[in-house]
Chains A and B, each alone.
Chain A
């Protein structure tokens, strides 16, 4: 087992009567990309703010590289790189000024540490005289990542770094994160995008302030205990209604143009479903058995927890 970089145990946090975190425990290995996957309001940001020493947990404890998040907050703030969910650079400063400022407050030397960010920063360098507020969403995120990396943090904490960013920039952003692994920086990333989960080394699926499961994305998918079918037609809403009426179908959800239907009954297969649907529908449809994605797993765990 490799060295543990970040761990949390029984972390709880309330805002008034609202429970934002209800006992979260996890551990992240050194140099790993660890994803917290969950919808808005699942407690990802609260968890990250606790880990970055910005909030105090009501109970439970956590440590990063052996430093306690409550007691040793001062030393912790030297080794963390943090990118909050909201774009938090200075809009009225240029790209270059932002980078210089953040290098300055961490007492980091830009030239000495440039190799850390060269991959990323080279792409925005042509715009170095442009104000940060005038950059596109993808470029803003690249700049924010550069600023969070310039002091060579030991742990990088990214709160929804790709929210509001176009698909191409999202992919580029993740390629950069994966390249950062060779620098042995532990990366914690929160995201509501299920397709990004597959790019993490390990993920924790979060829902309503709890971690439902933690594992590598592959193993989570493997452990999916149901059979899954993709069904498609021109009238998806009617189709969905019918699928949901069928006995033995545990769950059916729209996934883009397809309906994903899961069954926990070995007897029910393609033939049974097509038979049922042909009887009830007067239009054509296509059905095939499918491999589950992380999103299917997420829905499975979500319903299991209820």
Chain B
């Protein structure tokens, strides 16, 4: 056993590709998601058509540009030009302030202010409009004391992630993807490689029991995956300031459970594939795509068609993402996530049983 584990570590450390996947990927993915792929609005170009040109309209304009979300885009003088500037991509939103803005505001009439957004990208348009409305509402409430204008302004608070920072969302997702990738894909390939090279033949004709072979293959990956998960957490904490509100031990424990699940899945894949290529394809299609698409990491599960929602119930990553989000962001304890944990435990047991049953003690 000891020899087997040593051998497996040597395989990993001597293979440049394995090393890149194991240690390069987490770093690159975290940085990529953290810096490049973000759905927050920053520096969106907008233009203001001001028909009033009074102190109030200019104050609103100034506030918009000073917010940090918007940049001054191509200036347009009339509403006729809006569509053209959208088409050219010069502006993402145009704010049209109607005539007599300040006077209407003072007299309590509703002053006209239109937000026209380029909704070819609906998510962005939505965000732009709500950011801009927020700024305008805040301004109007500052000028007039609340008792003067008895309008109901709903005040929404985003709990746990008040700034709606995307980074909070993707850290759980990335940990999940990487653990899946490293644990399941790497083990399935490692076992398939023995079959492909013919060394499995020699291993089978030895006193090693299937359990020894599998355990020897898997142990190094448990350790490496665990190091990986920890590295991602550290990276996201120190570089992006993602907090861990819950119990760190619980978080690491749940990660370990998920690693075991992914490994058992990897072993299962390797029992049904005879060479590295099949193992790779199977892991890609059976693990990576569902992890990314159906786990709720990229697309909200609530918005999926019923059938996909049902399928997503069978996706281990879905439950794991829920668990680590709860622990990291909400600070929940085990009493709130025991159900998800139990599901993962059951899934792990099913896969281990299935692979032990499928593991071949002979060549056919």
Segment of B39-47, B205-213, B235-243 engaged in the interface with chain A: B205-213
The residues of B that contact A88 with a CB separation of less than 8 Å are 197-199, 201-202
- Find out whether the CB atom of A97 lies under 8 angstroms from the CB atom of B202: no
Q: CB of A276 within 8 A of chain B?
A: no
Q: Does A183 contact B (CB under 8 A)?
A: no
Contact with A along B337-364 (1 / 0, CB 8 A): 0000000000000000000000001111
Docked-complex contact B198 and A104, CB < 8 angstroms: no
Complex alpha-carbon distance, A272 and B334, angstroms = 100
A80–B206 alpha-carbon span in the complex (Å): 8
When distances are taken between beta carbons in the complex, the residues of chain B under 8 Å from A93 are 7, 10-11
Q: Establish whether residues B205 and A90, one from each chain, have CB atoms under 8 Å apart when the complex forms.
A: no
Shortest distance from the beta carbon of A223 to any chain B beta carbon, whole Å: 36
User: Which residues does chain A contribute within 8 Å of B11, judged by CB atoms?
Assistant: 90, 92-93
B363 to chain A, nearest CB (A): 4
Q: CB within 8 A of A89: which of B6, B14, B199?
A: B199
| Measured CA separation A302–B353 after assembly (Å) | 50
Q: Is the CB of B198 within 8 A of A86?
A: yes
B201 with A56: CB separation less than 8 A: no
Tell me which of A47-55, A134-142, A281-289, A290-298 binds B: A47-55
B105 CB–A CB distance under 8 Å: no
Report A-chain residues with C-beta under 8 Å of the C-beta of B6: 101
B207 lies within 8 A of A106 (CB):
yes
Contact in complex: A90, B201 (CB < 8 Å): no
Interface check B204, CB cutoff 8 A: yes
Q: In this assembly, does A100 line the interface, its C-beta being within 8 Å of a C-beta of chain B? A: yes
For chain B, the count of residues having a C-beta within 8 Å of the partner chain is 24
Majority secondary structure, B binding face: helix
Say which residue of B4, B205, B362, B363 sits within 8 Å of A101 (CB atoms): B4
Q: Does A7 contact B (CB under 8 A)?
A: no
Give the chain A neighbours of B21 by CB distance below 8 A. none
Is the pair A82, B202 in contact by a Cβ cutoff of 8 Å?
Answer: yes
Residue of B nearest to A98 (CB): B7
Chain B contacts for A104, CB-based, 8 A: 2-4
Residue of B nearest to A82 (CB): B205
Contact B205 A77 (CB under 8 A): yes
Contacting residues, chain A, for B7 (C-beta < 8 A): 90, 93, 97, 101
- Chain A proximity of B54: nearest CB distance (Å): 77
Query: Would A56 and B362 be within 8 Å (CB), given that A78-B207, A100-B3 are in contact?
Result: yes
When distances are taken between beta carbons in the complex, the residues of chain A under 8 Å from B2 are 104
Q: How far is the CA of A86 from the CA of B198 in the complex (A)?
A: 7
Please give me the residue from chain B that is nearest to A83 by CB atom.
Answer: B202
By a CB distance below 8 angstroms, the chain B residues around A78 are: 207
Tell yes or no: A73 within 8 A of B by CB. Answer: yes
Complex: A82 Cα to B202 Cα, angstroms: 7
- Does the CB pair B205–A54 fall under 8 Å? yes
By the criterion CB–CB under 8 Å, are B10 and A77 in contact?
no
| A106 partner residues in chain B, CB cutoff 8 A | 206-207
Smallest Cβ-Cβ distance to A88: which chain B residue: B198
B298 CB–A CB distance under 8 Å: no
User: Complex: how many Å from CA A87 to CA B201?
Assistant: 11
Instruction: Decide if B15 is an interface residue (CB 8 Å cutoff).
Output: yes
Cα-based distance from A104 to B208 in the complex (angstroms):
10
Find residues 58-96 in chain A having any chain B CB closer than 8 Å to their own CB.
73-74, 77-78, 80, 82, 84, 86-93
Distance of B275 from chain A, by nearest CB (Å): 13
Chain B residues lying within 8 Å of A73, measured Cβ to Cβ, are: 361
Please determine whether A105 and B362 come into contact, CB atoms closer than 8 angstroms. Answer: no
Q: Determine the distance from Cα of A78 to Cα of B363 in the docked complex, in whole angstroms.
A: 18
Residues of chain A from 126 to 162 with CB closer than 8 A to chain B in the complex: 147
Q: Are B206 and A77 in contact (CB under 8 A)?
A: yes
Contact A55 B206 (CB under 8 A): no
Q: Is the CB of B361 within 8 A of A105?
A: no
Q: Give the chain B neighbours of A181 by CB distance below 8 A.
A: none
Most chain B Cβ neighbours within 10 Å, of A73, A89, A92, A106:
A92
Known pairs A77-B207, A101-B3 / 20 extra A-B pairs, C-beta < 8 Å = A52-B205, A54-B205, A54-B362, A55-B362, A55-B364, A56-B362, A77-B204, A82-B205, A88-B201, A89-B199, A90-B11, A92-B15, A97-B7, A101-B4, A101-B6, A101-B7, A104-B3, A105-B4, A105-B203, A105-B206
Question: Can you report 17 residue pairs joining A to B where beta carbons are below 8 Å apart?
Answer: A54-B363, A55-B364, A56-B362, A73-B361, A77-B206, A80-B205, A84-B198, A88-B199, A88-B202, A92-B11, A93-B10, A101-B4, A101-B6, A101-B7, A104-B2, A104-B4, A147-B202
Task: List residues of B whose CB falls within 8 A of some A CB.
Answer: 2-4, 6-7, 10-11, 14-15, 197-199, 201-208, 361-364
